Amino acid sequence: MNAIELGELTKTYGTRRGLTGLTLEVRTGEVFGFLGPNGAGKTTTIRLLLDLIRPTSGSCRVLGLDPLADGAELRGRVGYLPGDFVCDGRQDVRGYLRFLAALRGGVPQSRIDELAERLGLDQSARIKKLSKGNRQKVGLVQALMHTPELLILDEPTSGLDPLVQQTFLDLISEAAERGQTVFMSSHIMSEVEAVAHRVGIIRDGSLAALDSVANLRSASVRDVEITFAMPVPADAFTAVPGGEGLRVDAAGTALSGPFSGNPDDLIKTLAEYAVTGLQVTKPALEDLFHSYYEGAEAAPRPAPVYEP
């Protein structure tokens, strides 16, 4: 069973677009990174998953349940951190977390203490006196403390310093090892790349790409720089599929440019010459992300589906 199944999910706000026919499956036990800039539809999707807003059309199943009909049961099995986490400032951190733990039927204090210590959260502090980063830590503890089947996290590292961000990534990796499913929206590419099994890129309310990070990279453009012991013909690589952007320099001893084809085709052609240097730059996830947003007028790209 998939943890999340969305079918042609659409949400409009009057004349404004929220989602336009989003179809997506998130597998049980995987960490799924949901990428997109502000306004792409990430938070709208998350709110639909939790029945905080209702879809205009389409279907939504979470842990096999209907968020509308089975909302109470579903929320007991989910840990949620909203992108705009707000908590009662009158309480201290310990009292607030104990209150939320009681609402969930009880959570061992040792579990709360462990998470707070790892995140560097002072439980004796009054919430109203906390910085944005420390309030975000409170949000993370309340989402993680009951070890839910599904974690739904909207921009979870907002306001956290780099050391705490790394601790958060460690906690997500540990959750995945326990078999928990994590659905994490973000615009910080490096953190998603560090923990996600698959990545979905959303653009203007619809899915622009869906795949593993490795497969997204394999289908992307690489920057190639190659040097030769002896000059090579200027047209030596023009017939290599995906090598239309490769150029031999005036001296004939260097080849450079973008390459989008199968590396095997390029290597077989290179074998005909004496290569003295070769550098292929793998695109970072951030570069891949931006490649799906180049040109505001560009038509949406088809979403490749990864099959293990």
Residue 300, in any domain of the structure: no
In this model, does residue 288 exceed pLDDT 80? no
Mean pLDDT of the chain: 87
Q: Specify the number of domains making up the chain.
A: 2
Q: Do 234 and 104 share a structural domain?
A: no
Gap between the Cα atoms of 167 and 200, Å rounded: 24
- List the Cα angle 53/292/256 in 5-degree steps: 165
| Range name among 1-5, 121-125, 210-214, 236-240 with the lowest pLDDT average | 210-214
Query: What percent of the chain has pLDDT above 90?
Result: 63
CA distance 169 to 30: 14
- Whether 233 is covered by a domain: the verdict is yes
**Final residue belonging to a domain, choices 182, 212, 242:** 212
With respect to residue 303, please indicate whether it lies within any of the assigned structural domains: no
What is this structure's pTM? Answer: 0.77
- Please check the confidence at residue 216 and state whether its pLDDT lies above 50: yes
Question: Per DSSP, what are the bridge partners of residue 199?
Answer: 33, 211
**pLDDT band of 270, cuts 50, 70, 90:** very high
Do 197 and 75 have their domain in common?
yes
pLDDT given for residue 300 in this prediction: 39
Q: Which domain holds residue 189?
A: 2-212
Q: Residue 68: inside a domain, yes or no?
A: yes
CATH of the domain at 127: 3.40.50.300
Q: Is residue 250 part of a domain?
A: yes
Indicate which CATH number applies to the domain containing 236.
3.30.70
- Both 131 and 264 in one domain: the answer is no
Same domain, 50 and 166: yes
pLDDT (0 to 100) of residue 308: 39
- Is residue 296 predicted with pLDDT exceeding 80? no
Mean pLDDT calculated for residue range 128-136: 93
